[in-house]
Amino acid sequence: MTDLPTSARVPDDIARAVMLPGPYADEEHITYPALAWLRRNQPFGLAEIEGFDRTWLATKHADILEIEKTPQVFSSALADPFLLDKAGREYMRTTNDGRRTQDTLAYMDAPEHTKIKNVTTAWFMPANVRKREEAIRQLAKDAVDRLITGEPTVDIVKDFALYYPLRVIMSLFGVPPEDEPRMLHLTQSLFGTTDEDTKRDDVEGGEGASARAWKATLQDFFDYFNVLSADRRQSPTDDLASIIANAKVDGEYLPESFVNGYYVAIATAGHDTTSSTISGAIEQFCRNPEQLDAVRADPGLVPGVVEEALRWVSPVKHFLRVVKEDTEFRGQTLLEGDGVMLLYPSADRDEEVFENPDTFDITRKPNKHIAFGYGPHQCIGQHVARLEMRILLEELIPRLAKVELTGEPQYVAANFLSGPKTLPVRITPA
């Protein structure tokens, strides 16, 4: 293998700050400064830290867009779409007989990706999503009523933000309310395999522990959704679970693994990402009370709050692509099999795209964030996410005179999907 020029190698301390889960527990002081350093000094550099395969770090907005729209070079189908250490990746390979871990969209390239995505494309179109607005608004009203009429001192994450998006997504699926605590636990376990407060206690530590915990939680999801899917095939309704369970591709029902892959992807990504964004918006209202005053005075600013919160939190921290064949990119030689880590929080604070990127500004225009990704793998549920966040803020903000931090928030120590895990505040009703 040809030695790389020194200028292409990312210093280990910088690489660890953006690749490992731990630093995301303090992303504002560790991860974001490291990302800013990379944008200035090595916007597309190679990380070779102990225990991980070669991984290129893509930090610039334009580079990530280019990679996302070139799946014929940067594949989603050659490995798990999130960063794993070598032990975790080997565990995934051996337990799946060399097959992919999930039969779901994030693990696919075209033409398979196109066929499977088309199963729900029409359901997730804005016109169809808007039909759910009345039902979603009632869920928002109920959530806000409980918050505003309850104790003035609360944890916004644990007492509010986790439950509303969970209720929305599960109602779209047709999952009964009594099963929501189970879904919440599984979602937090799936994405929090490296966090002390959310990781499973029935999986031993050591090499590959994160991958083993992730696989165990995935199986728990499958056990639940197998029952749901069988019920929807026998007694279909108009919910999303019925659409997926009864979908046919090339004249055949989707295999069980594909049905489960769909369920898990929507149930989890549609929950934790939204709850993190809601929590992030409220944290910024605590730190920037003038912005809460502005949107209280002009409710037309609510959509701007949603978009800025998405940019600011960027709850999906990365996706991983794999180079399909030796190629040149940004003046570097990438080898077949190299990983490329798309760092969305970095793109969403790229100084070449966003003025004053480290300032939370609900009036920001344009706001070209890519919190939902870009290209063929752009989040299929983005219209649902925007709708439910807009509705919640429309119901919450008129009833909220002030919100103040009563302690410092804590963040999930996870490098794939993370955000606030505690946000202690005092609520002053309007």
Pair of tokens at residue 357: 């990127």
Three-class DSSP labels, 333-362: EECCCCEEEEEHHHHCCCCCCCCCCCCCCC
Provide the phi-psi class of 396: left if phi over 0, else alpha when psi is between -120 and 50, else beta: alpha
Helices (H), 55-205: 61-68, 86-95, 112-121, 126-129, 133-149, 156, 163-173, 180-191
Residue 128 C-alpha from the chain's centroid: 23
What single letter denotes the amino acid at residue 357?
P
Question: Per the omega criterion (within 30 degrees of 0), is the bond before 303 cis?
Answer: no
DSSP reduced 3-state for 17: helix
CA distances from 351 to 60, 61, 316, 346, 374 (A): 9, 9, 20, 10, 19
Name the class of domain 6-429: mainly alpha
* Confidence class for position 391, pLDDT limits 50, 70, 90: very high
Please state the pTM of the whole predicted model: 0.90
Domain residue ranges of the chain, discontinuous segments joined by + = 6-429
What single letter denotes the amino acid at residue 216?
A
Q: What is the pLDDT of residues 64-103, one digit of tens each?
A: 999 999 999 999 999 889 998 888 888 777 777 667 888 9
* Confidence class for position 197, pLDDT limits 50, 70, 90: low
Residue 360 C-alpha from the chain's centroid: 20
What was the pLDDT predicted at 1? 33
Q: Is 365 exposed, middle or buried (0-12, 13-18, 19+ CB in 10 A)?
A: exposed
Q: What is the pLDDT of residues 99-141, one digit of tens each?
A: 788 899 999 999 999 999 999 999 999 998 899 999 999 999 9
What single letter denotes the amino acid at residue 31?
T
Phi and psi of 339, rounded to 5°? -90, 150
DSSP reduced 3-state for 229: helix
